[in-house]
Every structure is written in structure tokens, then in C-alpha cells.
Structure 1
Amino acid sequence: MPVLQYFSFTELWSPLFLALMLLLTAGYFVLIGPLASRFEGSTAVPFWRRGLFLCGMLALYLAQGGPVSLLGHILFSFHMVSMALSYLVAVPLIMLGIPDWCWRALLRVNPLRGLAFLAKPIVAALLFNGLFSLYHIPAIHDYVMLHFAVHRLYYAVLFLTSGLMWWNLINPLPEYRALGGLGQVGFIFLNMVLLTPACGLIIFAGSPLYATYSDPNTWAMAMGYCVPQSPAALLQAFGGPGFFGSLSPKVDQQVGGIVMKFIQEFIFASMLAYVFYHWYKKENGQEDTELSAPASELAEEGLNYKGW
């Protein structure tokens, strides 16, 4: 891509963030390998689950540390690709890659039990979609992009609330499920509806909303957090974000809103198919044993949802 030729390897690939992701990935394989025997009920993790985890980590790295992250500071459309990869792709893949026995061990940690209400369907949906929509209010978005510590904190909170939202759809532990098949269908539609106003505002706005992508000075200050050049040097070298793209800020903004909505619709449509598939299998007595342990065994362990 022509834009990338103006930046160094370090600026494009964020070696420190890559090292962190590799370290976390190595920790995952140590956890499900040599350390697995220390967990009650641990079993071998199948290849497909490991593959999902790796794909999720790759998506997260590209979105937050790779070229997509850098491009997201130049073009709003890539910013939305980064958001979709981070919270609609990476989070569920990483969660699906974690085996059931790891989740049970994690959820036995006492401090987490006091936060269980955050995972309730309505609360989780409102938290993630509310924070996502709030972030894309122009004044708030530009403020977050211009303050590095706030930026990292906000993205971390979005990541956690995305996990709470996805927990209601891909939770593999029957004892912690709050929704049945029909409830999950309703939950998916709720999330689709809640994200629509933010995307609609972005798509149908009559002018560029974000100074980060339209005002050269604001853009240079925001770029200073992902490249070592000073804002003055960036302005002298490029003049502003318009140097890199053929799209006007307004069109770029519209493309970003459309991309986000399209990715969301595709992913949640896929989840609808997934939910209907497993709902059908359950109704016909064919539910996978890995996804649905006998309720009697779970009750004996005292791991019921109401008691979490």
C-alpha cells in the first residue's frame, strides 16, 4: 500500500507490542500444556481451539500494533477496521480459544464474583455499545486520540466490555449461561440495534466530524503517539492526512461507518446461524457434550449461575 512506504519497520510493526503479544501467546501454550495438570478437570485442548486463539491474537496485534493501527491514525475508514478487528473479531476468537477448565478456574476467583452483574445480558450490551457510541462522539473521540494514557485506558475498557458482551453468546459453561437459544437471538438483535445510531451518525453526517482526520494540526498531534516524529516534523513532511489518501475526509468517514456496520452485520449474522445450529441440535438431543456438560455434575460442584 503506497501509504506504508513513508514509515519505518518499527513504526509499522510495533516490535514492543509484538513482543508482548508473543509473550502472552507463549503463556497460553504453557498454561494449556505443562501447567494444565494443576487445574481440576483439565483436558487436552483440541487443535481447532488453539487455532482460534492464535487467529484472535493475530487480529488483535494487526489492529492495535500492526499496519492497521498506523493506518487507523491516518484514515477514519481504517480506524473503524481496527475497531471491528479488536472488538468484534479478536475478542470472540480469543475467548473461544480458552478451554472450559480455564474459564472455571478463573471464575472461581472471589473478586470476580462481585462483578458478575456486569456480565448480565442487558448490562453487558449497554456497557459495550454505550461506550463504543460514546467514544465516537466527535469531541470525546478527538480528546481520547490526543491523550495517550486516556486512549490506552479507554481501549482496555472497551476490550473488557466487549468480552462481557460476547460472554452471553459464546460462553461454553452451562452453569453460567443466562440466555437460552431464543434469548441469544434477541441479544444479537439488541446489539445490532444499539450500534446502529453511532454508525448512522457517522455515515449520514453532512460534514467531517473528527478533527483528528480533517485538521492537520490535530492529526499531527495524534500521530505523534504512534510514530517518533514530532507534530511539527509530521506537518512539514506530509502537511496533513490528505497527503495519504484520495478520499476526502467526509467520504472517508462515510466509508468507515459503512465498513463498521457491514462487519458487525456479517459477524452477528454468522452468530445467528451458530445459535440456531446449536439450538436445533439441543432440541433434537444432539448437543455436543463439550459444549454442554451434564447439569447434575455441575450442580454437584456447586457451580450454578445464580450462585456466581
Structure 2
Amino acid sequence: MLGLEYFNFEQVWNLVYLAVMLLILAGYFLLVGPLSEKLGEGQSVSVGRKVLFVTGMMLLYLAQGGPIDLLGHMMFSFHMLSMALSYLIAPPLLMLGIPLWAWRAIIQFLAKSPLRRLKFLVKPIVAAVLFNGLFSFYHIPVIHDYVMLNFGIHRAYYLILFITSGFMWWTLVNPLPEAAEVQGLKKMGYIFLNMVLLTPACGLIIFAGEPLYATYNDPVVWVKAMGYCIPGDTTYLLSQFGGPQFFGYLEPAIDQQVGGILMKFLQEIIFASMLAYVFYQWYRQENWEGDDEDIVSAPRSELPSGKLN
């Protein structure tokens, strides 16, 4: 099981993080259940939205508090899988799982609060550059190792990445018609921009000729970083396993390349799928509008029966 059998249940499954996630889920079902009659004026929430939200929470827990998080401290490929789940897959699922009336209430609240001054952070170009820039900056080797060894900064940085990923995704999955600022070709350009901005960081990782991160290569640094997942003194890991290579199914340099390829591959699949969907919607809209113009301009005698009904 990739080395998970050497750790106990509480080390593999972070129970504190699990409790927090369950509380959030309880709050969500309270919001879309009993409270929806008061706050949502009786608007029901579809099963599909609930499934999306629960799925997003499950993936986020696995990536940040479950076995993928632990494996991500031992193998770089799992670290990048955790990154993809946390910032490319879970956020849109969670956002789509929130009912429209809740989004409108959130936007109205933010519009009246001091946070309205930060509205520019949701602007497409700013959001794309901010998230991808922070992600790329984090994977500079010296920055990555520093963050991994300073747990307070680690938590804060991951939270900021999650928030900025939400800013980035807002332009793509924004469910409110009245708040949609980017459509059609502009949205396709925005998707392409995000695909390009992440390429340099992934390229650095994939084509590096040697292991870059001490967290996955230096046993002493690795033992300190494992303190994020395992409470208490982690020095016993050094005498018991010798280092992260004990768990690695690949050589460190190859594991690093696999991680970079995995991240880029998942990003390409996700954004290429969205690009195809947005193109299809734009094509349908353009052809629908073209049909309407033909109907309006055509002589009555040329119109097929039923067109005016």
C-alpha cells in the first residue's frame, strides 16, 4: 500500500481535519435543507448540486487530510496529485454545489463589506496570474522546502492557494447569469491563458536533470517535514526507514518528473474539456442567433410553417 501500512489510522486519516470537514458538510446540508425555506425562499437544491459539493469535500479531504496528503510528504508525484485535487478539481465542484440563492447572498454581503475593495482579485487576468504565479513561486525549490518545514506558513500558503484557485475558477464556473462578465471567445482565451501560465513551473520540474527538492531527497529535511502529518517527535522515522526513498517506487529524479507530468496532464485534461464545452456553447449560441436573424429578415412567404408561432 505504498508504505501506508507502516503508519497508524490517525496518521493516515487526520481526524481533526476530518471533523472540520464533517462540520462544514453538516452546515451545508443545514443550509440547503431546513434553512433554505427561510434564506432561499423555499427554492429546492437539486441532488446533482449536493453530489458535486460532497464529492468536492471528499477529494479535498483525501488531498489535504487523508492518505494522499501523507503520501505527498514521501513522494513528489503524490504531492502533485494532491495539488491537482486541491486546486484544479475540488474548487469547481464545491462552487457548482452551492445553490444560486446562496451565491447571490454571498455577493450582496461582500458588496456591502470592506472586502468589496478586493473585487479586482476576481478579474480574469488578475485571478489567472495570481493563482498560477503563487503556484509557480511555491515550486521554486528553496521556497518549497522552506514552506514544507514551517508548518504555520505551510497552512497559510495552502489556504491562500485555495482561495486564489477559487478566484481563478470563478470566471469559468460562475453560475449567475447576471454576474457573468466573460463569455464565448473571451472565455476560451482565458482557459488558454491558464493552460500557458502553468507550463513554466511544470517544465522546470519535468526537464530538471536532478532532484530539486530536499524534502524528498535529504532524509534529515524529510523527517522534519513529516512533522506536518505526524504529531510529536518524528526522528524515529529516520532510524526506522532511513529516508523517503524507502517508500518511493521510483528514483527521486523520475518521481519528480512523473509529478510534473501528472500535474500538467491533469490540467490539460480539465481545461481542454472546459475549452471544448465553452466552444460548443459559443457555437450553438452563434448559430442560434444567426437563425433568429434569418427568420426576422426573411420574407413571410419564405418562412417555413410554424416559425412565427
1:265 paired with 2:268, answer yes
Q: Deviations over 1:223-273 (max 9, x none)?
A: 012113523211111110011123111111000000000000000011112
Alignment of 1:85-234 (within 5 A): 85-109=85-109, 110-111=112-113, 112-234=115-237
SS in 2 for 1:231: coil
Distance 1:2 1:67 in 2: 10
1:276 paired with 2:279, answer yes
Which letter does structure 1 place at the counterpart of 2:209? Answer: G
Q: 1:166 to 1:38 in 2, by over 3 A?
A: same
Q: Which shows bigger deviation, 164-173 or 36-45?
A: 36-45
Distance 2:262 2:2 in 1: 21
Deviation at 1:180, TM superposition (A): 1.1
Contact 2:124/2:171 (<8 A) preserved: yes
1:247 paired with 2:250, answer yes
Distance 2:57 2:249 in 1: 31
Distance 1:274 1:13 in 2: 36
Distance 2:232 2:203 in 1: 35
Deviation at 1:41, TM superposition (A): 5.3
Q: Deviations over 1:173-202 (max 9, x none)?
A: 122222111111000000000000000000
Which letter does structure 2 place at the counterpart of 1:100? Answer: L
SS in 2 for 1:86: helix
Distance 1:101 1:42 in 2: 10
SS in 2 for 1:224: helix
Aligned alpha-carbon RMSD (Å): 1.4
Contact 2:40/2:102 (<8 A) preserved: no
Deviation at 1:278, TM superposition (A): 2.7
Q: Deviations over 1:69-100 (max 9, x none)?
A: 00000000000000000000000000010111
The residue number in structure 2 matching 1:75 is 75
TM-score (norm 2): 0.90
SS in 1 for 2:228: coil
Distance 1:284 1:37 in 2: 40
Deviation at 1:280, TM superposition (A): 3.4
Which letter does structure 1 place at the counterpart of 2:204? Answer: L
Distance 1:276 1:54 in 2: 28
Task: Give unmatched runs, 5+ long, in structure 1.
Answer: 287-308
Distance 1:122 1:217 in 2: 41
Distance 1:255 1:7 in 2: 25
Deviation at 1:134, TM superposition (A): 0.3
Deviation at 1:281, TM superposition (A): 4.0
Which protein has the larger Cα radius of gyration, Structure 1 or Structure 2?
Answer: 2
SS in 1 for 2:74: coil
Contact 1:76/1:213 (<8 A) preserved: yes
Deviation at 1:285, TM superposition (A): 5.0
Match of 2:239 among 219, 232, 236: 236
The residue number in structure 1 matching 2:305 is none
Contact 2:60/2:90 (<8 A) preserved: yes
1:16 paired with 2:19, answer no
Deviation at 1:163, TM superposition (A): 0.2
Distance 2:235 2:116 in 1: 49
Which letter does structure 1 place at the counterpart of 2:78? Answer: F
Distance 1:98 1:180 in 2: 21
Contact 1:185/1:272 (<8 A) preserved: yes
TM-score (norm 1): 0.90
Deviation at 1:22, TM superposition (A): 0.9
Task: Give unmatched runs, 5+ long, in structure 2.
Answer: 290-309
